[in-house]
Structure formats: C-alpha cells, structure tokens
Chain A
Amino acid sequence: MSIAKYGRFRNLKTALQGTWRVAPASLYKQPGLTAAQRDDELSKSDLLSPTATISVPSAGVRNVVPLGRIKRTMEIRRAYYLSSLTYCVDDSEPKFAEFGDARLLISNPQIFGQRVCAAAQAVHPSWLAFFAPVFYYDPDAGHPEFLLSDPPEMRDTLPWRLKEVKYAWQREWRFIWLPDTELTGKLPPIELAIGAISDIAVLERLTAALGSGCR
C-alpha cells in the first residue's frame, strides 16, 4: 500500500531530496489557504446526543436536562506540529489539486515512517509523537471520547486526530508532535533531515486525469 503527499512541485522536490517540512498546527487556520487545506486544527466542536444531561457528581447534581443540545468544544491549548499524508492514491480525487501541482507517491510507508520518526527524534527527543489516521466526524452527530479500535495507549490522542466529515475525502494519515514545553509566538516550520527518499518515492506532476473519487 502506498501513501502520498500532495503539494507544490518545488516543495515536494525538496522533500524527495531529503528535507521534510513540518508545520505548526496553527498554520492551517490562515485565510490564504484553499478550502481543502484550511481548518482550525486547535479547536473542534460537536453537538452531544439529544439525550445528554448535565451532572456534577461532587455537587450532588444529577441528570439536569438542558434546553436543546449541549455543544462541546475541545480546544487544544498548546501548539503542536503536524504533517499530513493521504492513503487515497488512486489518481482519483480532483480536490487534491487544491494542495498544489504535484504529489510525492511513497511506495514504502513503513520505511518512510521510520525515517521521519528518526529524524524528528534526533531534533526533539523529548517531544511526544504519534502517527495515526484522522478520525472524521459529523459535528451534528458528535464524536466518541476515544476509538475502541485504538490500542489503549492511543485512546487519549483523539482530539489531535479529529476533522469534520467534509474533509473525509482526504483520507488523511497524520504525523503529530507535541512539544514538551509551551511554545509561544510565531512558530517556524521544522525541517527534518530524513535523507533522500528517491529509493521509496517518486515525484509526479498532477494531470487532468484526477477525478473519479477516492473510495
């Protein structure tokens, strides 16, 4: 199974040559990005079940029925870094063109993942890192607290892996790094020296053939 990174040709060429660029999550909120790229990666909202009630056990408050539905917003309070790839690689989804004019098709994701992991650990050995698929949810239907399909040690990572279902066509797998200290100010991208990956990847220009949708 292959994975792909879509983007501008010149940027992906740099990646192919061995420099993998990782962006702070806040970057994706910028208004100048395309609809496919732009999202608030630090805040996710949904509506809880219509039957949800409010309880404050320590105050002896049980099952207070609210008027209407409860809106939940999960706000990630610390800056973090991410890098997104997709496992939709069948030349099919035209909206990927919003990311740029090219894609890097990686034929050996395991080796690629190991190289990225090693490069990140060399630079930031104490940062928490996890690599997992995005979970797409309908804001009106809510999302679970965690995924039963995840191993136990991954069950508190869901907030960093949530995206609304309108992005589901992207079929994203993301690399996430959580700094061990609070980073402030304008955060620069990080360039990971992963070494040339031409042995496991090819750089392709997008053609007009994209189009039948990823399933």
Chain B
Amino acid sequence: MSQLPFPIVRHHTEDFVQPPELLLAEYRRIEAVPEGHASVDVVPVAANLRDHVLDRMLTELVFELDRSQQIDLFRRLDEVVQHQIVGNLIVLRRMVALVAAPDDEVGVKHRFKGAAERQSRHEPRLRLDLSRGLLLPVKGDLVGEVVVLRASEFCHPYEFNPPDRPFALDSHQLPQEQPDE
C-alpha cells in the first residue's frame, strides 16, 4: 500500500453503514473464522441494518443440495420465518411448496409470480429480487436442485440482533394478502 499514489480516503463515513461499531464487532467475528470459509452463515438481518446495507448491495448464494437436505433446510426455514424473520413470509412458503411438489413446476412458478406481485405492492424494494425467482430446479434431475437464496432478509455476512427487538415481526411489514396455496 505504501507505493500507492493516494492514501485511501473516505468521506461521510457516518452516512454509510450505521452504527460503525456494530460492523466492527462483526468484522472481528469474521476475522476469528479460520482460513477460508468454514461456514457460510445465511442469517436474518434486522430492519435498521438492512436499510443501510441491503439497499445498496445484495448477496446471492447459489448452491445445490440433495433432496433430503433441501427438505430439512426449508422445513427449518419455514419454522423460523413464521416467528422471527421480518418480511419475505410468502417467499419462503413458496420455496417449501416447491419442495413438496417438485413435479408441479409450472404451477408453482405461476403462483410464485403472483406472490411476488402482491408483495411488491407493499414493498417495492423487493420486486427485483422476487421477479427473478428464488428456486430453480435442475432440468431433468430431481435428485439435486439448485437453490437460490436471494431473499432480502438473508444476507451474508452481516448479522445483528438488537437486544430489545430480536427480529420481531412488525404488523406493517407483513404482507397484506396471502398467496394462493
């Protein structure tokens, strides 16, 4: 770095990600991870941090799971989403629905689109993510499926648990309309 022409400069640090001490704490956590990525934590992000981070950047993880892993993962996510994760309730239910009915790809996609449109009316910020689809079956092979976790509530690597408000669902953030099952 000493050979670089400028010092690294940053203006308006206070306007970017707040609170900075929170991120510093998070960085310390990451630094403690052994070399490489021992684990990719897909974690819910609190609303106040989400406004600063996810409005600017979205991390998409695409990975393939075998079928038993997939069912277990989505079952657990479904349990979580009903209690803890703000927003995206519809999305995760759709993911579970697809696992339960893998042969019904067209129908699920159709309903998926409908859910996205409904949610977008209440939270336009999510429209782009949802319109691209969250779950893409591998053609001709139902043993493995490609999973795209793109929900805005899941972001790596930021994790934040405000002590007085641990991922509570706010009524105004819930979708006003439930999707067709």
A residues near B (Cβ < 8 Å) are: 1-3, 48-49, 51-78, 87, 109-110, 113, 117, 121, 126-133, 142, 145-146, 148-157, 159, 173, 178, 180, 182
Contact = CB atoms under 8 A, between A and B. Distances in A.
The 7 closest A-B pairs by CB, nearest first: A109-B5, A66-B63, A59-B76, A67-B64, A130-B10, A49-B36, A52-B37
Given A87-B4, A145-B30, A180-B15, A55 B41 contact: yes
Contact of B56 (A53, A76, A149, A154): A76
Contacts of B72: 61
Contacts of A69: 63
A51 B159 CA distance: 22
Interface in B159-174: 159, 167
A107 B123 CA distance: 50
A132 B1 CA distance: 10
Interface of B: 1, 3-6, 8-13, 15-17, 20, 23-24, 27, 30-31, 36-44, 54-66, 69, 72-73, 76-77, 79-80, 84-85, 128, 144, 154, 156-157, 159, 167
Contact of B61 (A70, A117, A142): A70
Given A57-B43, A71-B62, A77-B55, A157 B10 contact: yes
Contact of A113 (B9, B20, B24, B60): B9
B61 A128 contact: no
Nearest to A64: B69
